[in-house]
Chain A
Amino acid sequence: MASDAPETKRRATAADDDALVARIADGDQRAWRDLTRRHLGGLVGYAWHMLRDRAEAEDVAQETMVRLMRKAETWEPGGAQVKTWLYRVAINLCIDRQRARRTSSLDLLAEQGDPAGGGDTIARDHALRRAVGSVVDALPARQKQALTLVHYQGFSQQEAAAALDVSVEAVESLLARARRTLKNDLKDLADDLLEEW
């Protein structure tokens, strides 16, 4: 088990989130601003990693916040954590969008990152991003969700388990499989690029 300090901080933040939602239900705009600033960046980040499209990621984040606002009046403190609830919504919205789209994530990553000119460094960075992005995006959906929550969003494994609605052991297993795949595939794909790291 990891140190208790981060867990204590997480619990304090969760209680604080509950208090903010209660104030939002009473029409407190400052509480809404605080909650938005606390979670909007993470939601955009999660959605971007899942969709690789900034506009879509922002749509997902906005829709998630809209749903929280509608939920505020009936929110029950002490139940699901606000953060967990938000990411459950975002996870499902991303799944819906992934099912509906025809363009692959990798194509979107290439469109956003193509160097217009630039030197060798830019081209190499771009190639590295493409190599890493292609392997990450090829992971099975649940593995990618778990990896994104834990690595990019800084979730504890307990928080990721709650957001994904699985056991902690299942999250550990998803992460282990994801990391093994990434290590193997990145070694094959980009050995020359990785040497510089």
Chain B
Amino acid sequence: MNDRPAAMTLAEFEALADRFGADPSVWPLDRRDAARALAARDDTAQCMLRDATRLERLLDVLPAPRPSEALEARVLAMAQAETDAHWIWMLVARPVWRPALLAAAMLGGVYLGAAALPTALAVGDPSFDLTTVAGGGDTLGYVDLLEE
């Protein structure tokens, strides 16, 4: 049985150079030896490799800029902002905290409500007048209704 790879034509050689570039070591494994054999004995194949190499070097005259320090700083800062938001969300969203947060919110509401009440509401204060609490003279009609 003959394990030698099939000989390569120049057309196939050129097609491989176009598909895979100038370095035969990255060409398909089963065609590498045939490509090297052709390049070793054929001037046209060598010329094709030189053209492919020159093209790759030409493409390298267009080097892309590196990211600016400002960009890197902006992108890294995104993590800080996102992390802060993440932890706040984790705190609020965790079931174990929900009753505590609810209780705190209720206590806060009670406190604010009590603070908003007039001091005249103190128990036993003779000057207490329902119209004061209800918002003044405009609500007298409503107070009358209550009395009825």
Contact = CB atoms under 8 A, between A and B. Distances in A.
Contacts of A45: 64-65
B53 to A, nearest CB: 10
B42 interface: no
B28 interface: yes
A133 B60 CA distance: 11
Contacts, number: 115
A183 B54 CA distance: 9
Contact of B18 (A44, A157, A179): A179
Contacts of A176: 15, 18-19
A180 B52 CA distance: 10
B67 A58 contact: yes
A93 interface: no
Interface residues of A, number: 48
Interface in B62-97: 62, 64-68, 71-72, 74-76, 78-80, 82-83, 86-87, 90
A125 B55 CA distance: 16
Nearest to B87: A27
A107 to B, nearest CB: 15
B52 A179 contact: yes
Interface of A: 1-3, 24, 27, 29, 32-33, 36-37, 40-41, 44-46, 48-49, 54, 57-58, 61-62, 65-66, 69, 125, 128-129, 132-133, 136, 147, 150-152, 157, 172-173, 175-177, 179-180, 182-183, 186, 194, 197
